[in-house]
Structure formats: C-alpha cells, structure tokens
C-alpha cells in the first residue's frame, strides 16, 4: 500500500513537469529540451537553499524562478537570435549541467537532515491526526506520514493546475495560446509574438523546475543526473492524458496531463514490479512515445485508404 | 491618412531568385477613402499591402499613417492602427480558440494585455449582438472552436475582428478569393456595410473585375511593382468590368511588344 501511495505521490509531483511540457509542446508547439536541465536546476536551487537554511516554501519558489530564467534564455535564443528551437533548448540544457554543478558544489546534495516541504507536511499531518502513526483506510493500513505527503502534493497540484487554467483564460493567457495557434493572426492583433514565446517557455520551465524541486524534497536528495530523459517522460504523460480525455478543451487537457502523469507512473511501477530492469526504463519510455506519436498518423492513413477503397 | 512615399522592396537581393516586388510606389489616401487595387499576378498588389502592414520592412521610401512615421515600426506595433483580413480564411483566426475568445483578442488589438479576465460578461453580450448581425446563426455558438467553422464564416468573423476597434486603416487582401461564390457575396456585403457605416479608410486587393468596378471610390492598377493607372471620382464611377479587362489586355500587348522588341535587338546586336 505504501508503494501505491508513493507511486501516486511521484506521479503528482511529475504532473507539474507534464504541465510544463504541455505548455511548451502543446500550447506553443515548441519542442523544448531545456526541461531536462531545468528539472535538475529546480532541485539544485531548492536543495542548496534549504541546506543553507532557507525556508522550504521560499526555496521552492526560488526553484520556480530559476526555471523561468532558464526558459527565458531558451526563448530568447530562439526568438531574438533565430536559433532553431531544438538547438536553443539543447544549448541551454548543456549549459545548465555546469551551472547545476556550480550551484550544488558537488554532484549530489542530500536533504536527509533538512526540513523540507515533505517533512513539514508529514509533521502537519501527524499533528492533525493527534500523533497517530497509522490509519485504517478501507481496510488498508496506511502510514499517516505517507498519506499526508500525498494529500499535500495533490492539493499543490490542484492549486497549480487551477491557477494555470485561470491564467490561460486571462487576456495575456489567451494571447499566448493564440500565438502558438496562429502567429500571423496574433501579430495582426498587435501582440509581440517573440515576447509571448519567451514568456511561455519561461513559465513552462518554471513548472518543470518546481517539479524537480519537489522531487528532490520527496526523494531526499538532489542529483545532477536526475533530469535526464524528463522531457520524454513529460511528453508521454501529456500524450496519455490526451488519450484519456479525448478532447482539446483547455480545462480537460490540463486535467488530462495530470491524470496522464499519474497513470504513466503507475504503469511504470507495475512494470518494475514485474521485473522490468530500471536500466531499461528510458528505452521503454522513448519507445512508448515513439508509438504514441506514429499510431495516430498510421490510423489516419489506414482510414483514408479504407475510405478510398 | 496614409501616405506611401516612393517605397521599394527587393526580395532575395543578389541571388538568382531576386525579385523587385515594389519599385518606387507612391500613394496618398485621404480620410475615409476606399481604394481598390487590381493587377496581374506578381504585380505587387499583396506585397504593397504587406509593406503597409509591416510584414517586412521596405528597402527605401517612407510610410506615414495617421500622423505617425511607421516606416521602421514592427508589424505588431502597426496593428494598433491597422485592421487586416487575409486571403486565406485560416490566417485571420485562431482555430483552437472559441469564437468569443478570438473576438476578445480582437477587442484588445494594439492594447496592453494583462491578467484581466478575457471574457467579461458585458463584452460577451456585445459579441452576441455583433455576431448576430452577420446573420449566420453563430451567436448561439460563441463557445465553439473557430476550427469547426466554414471559410465564409471565418472570413466574416475576421472582418468583424479587424473592425471591432475602429482601425485607422483597413487592409483587405483578396479576402473573398478563397470562398465559394455565395459566401464571397455575403462577405463582400458585410464589407460594404462596415466600410461605409464606419467611413473606414480602406485598401482592398481583388481579383474580381466586378468588385473592382462596383466597389470603392478609387481604383489603382499595378504592374511589375508599380502603379500604372489611378482612377478617381467620376472616372472611377464610370468604369465597367470590360474597361478593366481592356486595360489588362493593353498591358499584355505592351509586354509582348517589349519582349519581341528585346529579342529583335538581341539578334541585331549580340
């Protein structure tokens, strides 16, 4: 049971990553690889700040800001210097590797003896349960500490998702969505599309970095290699989410991305339980995204062919 | 209102694909005048509109609009003064956004966009009124994505969006060319309504000799990046589609003459 709760918790934490990827890939159609670096950046910034005594909420917020800065760099390379979108992301991601090492001072920062958002929510949960360590949930014995972390993370994701939804329906948010949809139109309505892209990629990476900082707090350490393959992971979540909700209505796609992330994490946990080697995880993830990308095309072609026949 | 002074534009200069699209175009539009632009393919009609809209910056010359020198203004800055409808019905709207979201984007053309709520109730009420005037039954479908609409419906909405805030200048780039005849008539009707009601200064490119003869109060004909004819007032009112076709024929003949003459000269001197 605690394994299941852990899976849900990580799924929720990574759903912030999925929301970040959703913003860059889906809203802006911008294949942003920076995310691999900004996951680690968020973890590194938050962990280092907390080790030096900054309060966990403030450190997480700083992680968000650092991610935004990284995203803004990528956006600037793309819009102002006309560098190909993928290459812009690769440049910033590569630079972030060194920057992350500088921030942490070593390749791994443990958070075991430090107060984090996770330990804080554990304490809060225990206090609310008047010191009980376990509780009975429909016949299952559940650790209060695990459960309170899951509740806290769920609340945080709900709040962030709602804020994102509301933001995308403001004047600014709508202009951002239209920029990804039809640049010619939004320019003719007086919007500086370059600024929109920079800002959008910044927000996207803010989400990704926040996700990285929460992940570090949950697993108890920040590691310089923790971001590898995260873009593909986020993309897989978004694609599963789209399949789950099956519409392109804004609110539902956001919910879908969150659900997709949790479901994907669940699938991975099951696969690992069945004996999948963790070393193969990224290969399987990449293979999955590959299939998810080509299957719709394949189906469309098949449908066309049968329509002609 | 709009003053175009001797503008030129060459695309891909110094390459085999070099095209001199605009060669010293001069045009002065008074307040509220509606100018029709016709011309052969590649004559620079659309390029002229794009130069005014700021899709690219001109190589030479000066553009003045509503008292501003906009020659070096980027496209999005000029949008404060200009409303546009494109030839392609897909170009003027954002397909995954709803009708009301598209209109609310247009309701802030050229203004700052902050964290204010995009769809205020008073704005949506006004949208319902305005959209019902299009007589397309779209007023009950304001929440539908624009991607689900037909080309004619999209062009009608794009026209509404371009004129939602009164533009100093309206640019229409063959905005009915991609539509079926019935939708084209409808959109032309709406265009006539809004341009005359709001007394909009308008530049309209068209392929239709019928529209060219019946609409507007001035007509210019372009050829090879230059204005070759300019009809005003009574002369414009007398123009019939056949007159315009005759002018095109003249251009074609002159062209042939040029080419054969060039060939003859080449044979003699080379």
Q: Which residues of B touch A189 (CB under 8 A)?
A: 79, 105-106, 108-110, 161
In a domain? residue A153: yes
Q: Which residue has the tokens 């992330």?
A: A261
pLDDT at A1 over 70: no
Beta strands in A32-164 (DSSP E): 108-110, 134-137, 140-143
Query: What domain count does chain B have?
Result: 1
Q: Which of B91, B114, B145 sits opposite A185 (nearest CB)?
A: B91
pLDDT at A306 over 80: no
Cβ–Cβ under 8 Å, residues A171 and A253: no
Residue A96's pLDDT is 97
pLDDT at A211 over 90: yes
Q: What is the mean pLDDT of residues B252-263?
A: 71
Residue A20's pLDDT is 97
Which chain B residue shows the shortest CA-CA distance from A163?
Answer: B115
In a domain? residue A294: no
Residue A192's pLDDT is 95
- Verify whether the Cβ–Cβ distance A173 to B118 is below 8 Å: yes
Q: Which of B95, B97, B113 sits opposite A171 (nearest CB)?
A: B113
Q: Residue B196: CB partners within 8 Å, gap ≥ 6?
A: none
In a domain? residue A275: no
In a domain? residue A123: yes
Domain with B214, as residue range(s), is 2-95+166-239
Whole-complex ipTM: 0.88
Q: What is the mean pLDDT of residues B163-168?
A: 95
Q: Are strands B202-205 and B34-39 parallel, antiparallel or unpaired?
A: parallel
Residue B55's pLDDT is 94
Residue B270's pLDDT is 59
pLDDT at A219 over 90: yes
Q: Which residues of A touch B115 (CB under 8 A)?
A: 167, 170-172
In a domain? residue B143: no
Residue B199 — very low, low, confident or very high, per pLDDT cuts 50/70/90?
Answer: very high
A168 to chain B, closest Cα gap in Å: 9
Measured CA to CA, the distance from residue A247 to residue A117 in angstroms comes to 35
- Verify whether the Cβ–Cβ distance B97 to A192 is below 8 Å: no
This prediction's pTM: 0.89
In a domain? residue B160: no
Residue A163's pLDDT is 96
pLDDT at A164 over 90: yes
Residue A136 — very low, low, confident or very high, per pLDDT cuts 50/70/90?
Answer: confident
In a domain? residue A261: no
SS3 of residue B66 by DSSP: coil
Residue B260's pLDDT is 66
Instruction: Say which range, A125-129, A193-197, B47-51, B137-141, has the weakest mean pLDDT.
Output: A125-129
Domain with A189, as residue range(s), is 2-227
Residue B243 — very low, low, confident or very high, per pLDDT cuts 50/70/90?
Answer: confident
pLDDT at A287 over 80: yes
pLDDT at B215 over 80: yes
In a domain? residue A258: no
Residue A208's pLDDT is 97
Q: Which residues of B touch A184 (CB under 8 A)?
A: 86, 91
In a domain? residue A56: yes
In a domain? residue B90: yes
Residue B266's pLDDT is 66
On whether any CB of chain B is under 8 Å from the CB of A174, the answer is yes
In a domain? residue B48: yes
Q: Which residues of A touch B84 (CB under 8 A)?
A: 188
State percent of chain B over pLDDT 90: 68
State chain B's mean pLDDT as an integer. Answer: 91
B90 to chain A, closest Cα gap in Å: 9
In a domain? residue B16: yes
Q: Residue B167: CB partners within 8 Å, gap ≥ 6?
A: B81, B82, B83, B109, B200
State percent of chain B over pLDDT 70: 95
Of A35, A6, A15, A86, the C-alpha closest to A240 is A15
Q: What is the mean pLDDT of residues A244-270?
A: 90
On whether any CB of chain B is under 8 Å from the CB of A63, the answer is no
Residue A52's pLDDT is 94
- Verify whether the Cβ–Cβ distance B105 to A193 is below 8 Å: no
State percent of chain A over pLDDT 70: 98
In a domain? residue B262: no
On whether any CB of chain A is under 8 Å from the CB of B123, the answer is no
In a domain? residue A265: no
Q: Which residues of A touch B96 (CB under 8 A)?
A: 177, 181, 248
Q: Which of B79, B101, B113 sits opposite A188 (nearest CB)?
A: B79
Residue A158's pLDDT is 96
* Strands of the sheet with B60-65, listed across from one edge: B19-29, B2-11, B60-65, B68-69
Which chain B residue shows the shortest CA-CA distance from A195?
Answer: B76
On whether any CB of chain B is under 8 Å from the CB of A169, the answer is yes
Q: What is the mean pLDDT of residues B143-151?
A: 91
Query: What domain count does chain A have?
Result: 1
Q: What angle do CA B172, B174, B175 make, to 5 degrees?
A: 65
CATH number at residue B229: 3.40.50.300
- Verify whether the Cβ–Cβ distance B109 to A190 is below 8 Å: yes
B195 versus A127: the higher-pLDDT residue is B195
In a domain? residue B144: no
Q: Which residues of A touch B162 (CB under 8 A)?
A: 188
Residue B106's pLDDT is 95
Q: What is the mean pLDDT of residues A33-49?
A: 96
């Amino acid at each position: 049971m605690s394994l299941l709760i852990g899976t849900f918790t990580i799924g929720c934490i990574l759903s912030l990553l999925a929301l970040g990827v959703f913003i860059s890939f889906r809203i802006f159609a911008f294949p942003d690889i920076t995310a691999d670096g900004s996951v680690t950046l968020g973890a590194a910034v938050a962990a280092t700040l907390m080790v030096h005594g900054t309060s966990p909420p403030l450190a997480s917020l700083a992680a968000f800001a650092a991610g935004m800065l990284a995203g803004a760099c990528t956006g600037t390379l793309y819009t102002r210097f006309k560098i190909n979108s993928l290459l812009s992301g690769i440049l910033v991601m590569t630079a972030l590797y060194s920057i992350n090492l500088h921030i942490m001072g070593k390749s791994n920062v443990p958070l075991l003896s430090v107060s984090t958002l996770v330990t804080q929510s554990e304490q809060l949960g225990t206090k609310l349960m008047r010191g009980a360590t376990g509780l009975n949930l429909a016949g299952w014995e559940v650790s209060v500490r695990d459960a309170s972390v899951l509740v806290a993370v769920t609340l945080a994701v709900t709040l962030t998702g709602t804020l994102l939804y509301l933001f995308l329906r403001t004047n600014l948010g709508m202009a951002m969505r239209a920029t990804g949809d039809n640049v010619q139109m939004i320019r003719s309505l007086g919007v500086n599309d370059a600024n929109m892209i920079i800002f959008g990629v910044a927000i996207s990476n803010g989400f990704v970095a926040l996700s990285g900082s929460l992940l570090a707090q949950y697993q108890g350490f920040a590691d310089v290699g923790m971001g590898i393959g995260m873009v593909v992971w986020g993309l897989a979540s978004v694609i599963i989410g789209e399949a789950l909700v099956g519409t392109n209505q804004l609110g539902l796609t956001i919910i879908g991305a969150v659900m997709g992330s949790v479901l994907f994490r669940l699938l991975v946990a099951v696969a690992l339980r069945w004996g999948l080697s963790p070393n193969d995880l990224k290969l399987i993830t990449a293979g999955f995204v590959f299939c998810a990308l080509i299957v719709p095309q394949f189906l469309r072609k098949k449908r066309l062919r049968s329509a002609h026949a | 209102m709009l003053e175009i002074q001797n503008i030129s534009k060459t695309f891909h200069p110094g390459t085999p694909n070099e095209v001199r699209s605009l060669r010293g175009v001069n045009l002065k539009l008074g307040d509220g005048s509606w100018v029709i632009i016709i011309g052969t393919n590649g004559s620079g009609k659309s390029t002229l509109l794009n130069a005014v809209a700021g899709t690219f910056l001109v190589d030479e010359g000066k553009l003045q609009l509503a008292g501003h020198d906009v020659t070096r203004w980027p496209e999005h800055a000029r949008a404060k003064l200009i409303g546009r409808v494109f030839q392609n019905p897909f170009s003027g709207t954002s397909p995954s956004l709803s009708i009301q979201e598209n209109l609310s984007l247009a309701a802030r053309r050229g203004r700052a966009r902050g964290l204010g709520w995009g769809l205020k109730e008073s704005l949506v009420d006004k949208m319902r009124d305005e959209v019902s005037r299009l007589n397309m039954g779209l007023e009950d479908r304001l929440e539908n994505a624009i991607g689900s609409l037909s080309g004619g419906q999209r062009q009608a909405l794009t026209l509404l969006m371009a004129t939602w805030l009164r533009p100093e200048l309206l640019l229409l780039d063959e905005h009915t060319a991609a539509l079926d005849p019935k939708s084209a008539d409808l959109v032309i009707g709406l265009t006539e309504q809004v341009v005359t009601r709001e007394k909009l200064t308008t530049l309209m490119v068209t392929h239709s000799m019928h529209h060219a003869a019946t609409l507007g109060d001035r007509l210019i004909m372009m050829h090879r990046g230059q204005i070759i004819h300019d009809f005003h007032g009574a002369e414009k009112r007398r123009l019939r589609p056949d007159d315009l076709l005759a002018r095109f024929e003249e251009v074609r003949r002159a062209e042939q003459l040029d080419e054969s003459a060039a060939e003859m000269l080449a044979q003699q001197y080379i």
